[in-house]
């Protein structure tokens, strides 16, 4: 779906407390979460404007977003297991 919100809080509603804690206590997580949110917003804007970039560029943006999301999710799981 074009323009879909993939923010961390939207995609991981069961992890809101961990997200808030990590954003406060873990500077690496907070930095990557900020990067992820900015990239997600950029992708949404591009999708809503009929993606005025090449398919390859859009694919690359989504790939980077996916890698960031995977890293963030793994960090959430690590914190919640302890």
Give pTM, 2 decimals: 0.88
Long-range CB contacts (within 8 A, 24+) of 36-45: 36/8, 36/65, 36/68, 36/69, 36/72, 37/7, 37/8, 39/64, 39/65, 39/68, 40/5, 40/6, 40/7, 40/65, 43/6, 44/3, 44/4, 44/5
Tens place of pLDDT per residue across the chain (82 aa): 566 888 999 999 999 999 999 999 999 999 999 999 999 999 999 888 876 889 899 999 999 999 999 999 999 999 988 7
């Amino acid at each position: 779906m074009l323009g879909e919100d993939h923010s961390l809080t939207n995609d991981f509603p069961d992890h809101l407390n961990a997200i808030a804690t990590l954003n406060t206590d873990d500077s690496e997580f907070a930095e990557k979460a900020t990067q992820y949110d900015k990239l997600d917003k950029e992708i949404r804007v591009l999708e809503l404007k009929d993606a005025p970039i090449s398919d390859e560029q859009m694919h690359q943006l989504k790939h980077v977003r996916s890698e960031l999301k995977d890293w963030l999710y793994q960090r959430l799981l690590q914190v919640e297991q302890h």
